[in-house]
Amino acid sequence: MIVVHHLNNSRSQRVLWLLEELGLAYEIKRYERDPRTLRAPSSLRDVHPLGKSPVITDGALTLAESGAIIEYLVDHHPEAKLAPPPGTPERVRYLYWLHYAEGSAMPLLLLKLVFDRIEGARMPFFARPIAKSIARRVKSSLVEPQIAQQLDYIEAQLAKYPWFAGDAFSAADIQMSYPLEAAAARAGSRASRTRSGARRRSRSPCRTAGDPRRCPSTTFAAGWCAPSRRT
Amino acid sequence: MIVVHHLNNSRSQRVLWLLEELGLAYEIKRYERDPRTLRAPSSLRDVHPLGKSPVITDGALTLAESGAIIEYLVDHHPEAKLAPPPGTPERVRYLYWLHYAEGSAMPLLLLKLVFDRIEGARMPFFARPIAKSIARRVKSSLVEPQIAQQLDYIEAQLAKYPWFAGDAFSAADIQMSYPLEAAAARAGSRASRTRSGARRRSRSPCRTAGDPRRCPSTTFAAGWCAPSRRT
């Protein structure tokens, strides 16, 4: 059976959502971040040397990286039609968003998180204004304009098609859910609007709703799963 | 014909290498970074709204993101066998490295670049020691230990298999070339050793050597292309 090594508030919520879409049996092993440092526990290194989440194990297989896990599971279950057929424009958009999520969106959101922490960090009084000034300058010149540009781009694309790949829900929507949630959490109301727009499309009764064992993340609980194609 | 919108010192060198491996005809349109800010020119936005590289155009198609371009081109040219067959352990490793390159390796190297710049930035004398202290603390606690861990992991994997996906060269080797080059440039000698190890495997006469029009990047010129499977 597939085991999802699930870290709270992490990318592994994508894998749980995908497994629900595929209707596969799976087991969740839970790991909790250190509440102070927010780092993953070292026990995750027993599963994969880099000690990050998501990781799945399935017999002798151990696989990390959201995008790789998604492609692996979707390839093994073509009957679920969670990837558009090769040779179509939908396939090209699917591949684009599958890679864009971590290749372009998340690095900026990581910078936002790091410089927000520097801006709010406790330090000697004489250092604080300088730290704040550096953090604000990096955010205003490098990070925030690019996040705004990316959110504009995502909104423009979602105005053209109901789902990221086109007219049908695909695993690219699952992959993109994480940067949209992270943008809403880290980039404020501007990002919340984009997320809300995307979420409206997928808002329908979650198959796992009401079962907190199966709905371990806020994303799941918020109804980000079970899109309308299931209704 | 495929047009590669090529930005100097960017991820688009992967696409050029892949097109050479596939033996496809293509045209290069060159874009130069601003020498001071190192940002891409705004003319790249005429090609793709996010104005980043790589981007390819092919008739009505415009596609960005290295990983998506690689998957698109490899899917359309199965005869080149640059992706292992589905259902094999090689395929799983191929997918992993294809996503790992941007999902795990590059974000850390981006942080390294940003904090190196803060450490070396010109600023008023009273601010400089504080900026240096912040940058060094972030690098020593968050960035450098994780880069070292990842390089150890890459070395351990390359000790098991001659190529990233296994016994045969694949597009995952092309995808991984960029973080290894970036690590060597940004993380010093430790990373250079890892890159040298990987490079030894692929060092053989480059098909495009001696033609600077076709070898626009230092990576190409250094012999990172045309691996031994071609000899």
ipTM of the complex: 0.86
Closest partner residue to A65 among B91, B104, B133, by Cβ? B104
Lowest mean pLDDT among B13-17, B69-73, B120-124: B120-124
Amino acid at B219: T
Q: What residues contact A110, with CB distance under 8 A and at least 6 apart?
A: B107, B110, B111
Q: What is the pLDDT of residue A197?
A: 56
- Whether residue A229 is contained in a domain is answered as no
Residue A20 is assigned to a structural domain of this protein: yes
Q: How far is CA B19 from CA B52, B69, B112, B214, B224, in A?
A: 19, 10, 30, 11, 14
A126 or A93, greater pLDDT: A93
- Tell whether A216 is covered by a domain: no
Does B164 lie in the same domain as B100? yes
* CA A40/CA B131 separation, integer angstroms: 28
User: Between A49, A131, A142, which is nearest B134 by CB?
Assistant: A131
Same domain, B52 and B114: no
Q: Which of A53, A80, A107 is the last residue before a domain boundary?
A: A80
Mean pLDDT estimate for chain A: 85
Contact B104 A52 (CB under 8 A): yes
pLDDT range class, residue B189, cuts 50, 70, 90: low
d(CA B120, CA B184): 19
Which of chain B's residues have a Cβ under 8 Å away from the Cβ of A92?
61, 63, 68, 72
| Cα–Cα separations (whole angstroms), residue B163 to B86, B97, B148, B154 | 17, 11, 20, 11
Proportion of chain B above pLDDT 90, given as a percent: 69
In a domain, B214, yes or no: no
pLDDT value for B192: 64
Is B42 part of any domain?
yes
**Does position A53 have pLDDT exceeding 80, yes or no?**
yes
Q: pLDDT tens digits, residue range A182-198?
A: 999 887 756 666 665 56
Q: Give the model's pLDDT for residue A127.
A: 83
**What does the pLDDT read at residue B128?**
87
What pLDDT, in 10s, does the model give residues A148-174?
999 999 999 999 999 999 999 999 999
B223: in domain? no
Say yes or no to pLDDT of B8 above 50: yes
B43-47 average pLDDT score: 93
Find the CB nearest B127 among A67, A100, A130.
A130
Mean pLDDT, rounded, for A199-216: 41
**Cβ contacts of B61 on chain A, cutoff 8 Å:** 92
Would you call A100 and B64 a contact, using CB atoms and an 8 Å cutoff? Answer: yes
- Give residue B121's pLDDT band: very low, low, confident or very high (50, 70, 90): confident
B103 and B30 part of one domain: no
pLDDT of residue A222: 37
Residue A212 scores a pLDDT above 80 = no
CATH code at position B93 = 1.20.1050
Q: Considering CB atoms only, which of A87, A102, A138 is closest to B99?
A: A102
C-alpha A81/C-alpha B89 separation (Å) is 23
Residues of A with Cβ-Cβ distance to B98 under 8 angstroms: 67-68
Same domain, residue pair B116 and B173: yes
Chain A residues lying within 8 Å of B155, measured CB to CB? none
CATH number at residue A64: 3.40.30.10
pLDDT at B27 exceeding the cut of 70: yes
CB A30 within 8 Å of CB A216: yes
Q: Which of B11, B39, B99 to mutate to test the interface with A (most CBs of A within 10 A)?
A: B99
Q: Average the pLDDT over B52-76 and give the result.
A: 96
Cβ contact (<8 Å) for B63 and A106?
no
Is A228 within a domain? no
**B129 and B72 in one domain?**
no
Q: Above pLDDT 90, what percent of chain A?
A: 68
Q: Do B142 and B161 belong together in one domain?
A: yes
Report pLDDT for B214.
41
Domain identity same for A104 and A7: no
Mean pLDDT to the nearest integer, B56-74: 96
Rounded-to-integer distance, Cα B144 and Cα B213, Å: 36
* pLDDT at res. B196: 58
Distance CA A204, CA A200 (A): 9
In what side-by-side order are the strands of the sheet with A26-31?
A: A26-31, A2-7, A55-58, A61-64
Window from A14-28, A79-93, B103-117, B185-199 with minimum mean pLDDT:
B185-199
Domain boundary among B20, B51, B80: B80
Residues 6+ apart with CB under 8 A from A102: A66, A67, B99, B102, B103
Of B80, B109, B141, the residue that ends a domain is: B80
Question: Residues A119-145: what's their mean pLDDT?
Answer: 89
Instruction: Let me know whether B156 and B96 are in one domain.
Output: yes
pLDDT value for A113: 93
Residue B227: CB atoms within 10 A of its CB come to: 22
Same domain as B71, residue B104: no
Q: Are residues A113 and A13 in the same domain?
A: no
Domain of A130? 89-202
The pairing of beta strand A2-7 with beta strand A26-31: parallel
Mean pLDDT of A126-131: 87
Q: Does B38 touch chain A (CB under 8 A)?
A: no
Q: How large is the average pLDDT for residues B65-73?
A: 98
CA–CA gap between residue A112 and residue B32 (Å, rounded):
27
Interface of B with A in 53-72 (CB under 8 A): 61, 63-68, 71-72
R_g over Cα of chain A: 18
B95 & B73 share domain: no
- Looking at the domain assignment, is residue A230 inside a domain? no
How many contacts (CB atoms, under 8 Å) link A and B? Answer: 123
**In angstroms, rounded to a whole number, what is the distance separating the alpha carbons of residues A186 and B95?**
29
Asked which of A121-125, A174-178, B25-29, B173-177 is least confident by mean pLDDT, the reply is A121-125
B16 min Cα distance to partner chain A (Å)? 18
Nearest CA in chain B to A74: B86
Structural domains in chain A (count): 2
User: On the CB side of B118, how many CA atoms lie within 13 Å of its CA?
Assistant: 29
Q: Which two tokens stand for residue A191?
A: 């990002």
Reported as a pLDDT band with limits 50, 70 and 90, residue A48 is very high
Name the band, by pLDDT with cuts 50, 70 and 90, for residue A124.
confident
A198 and A116 share one domain: yes
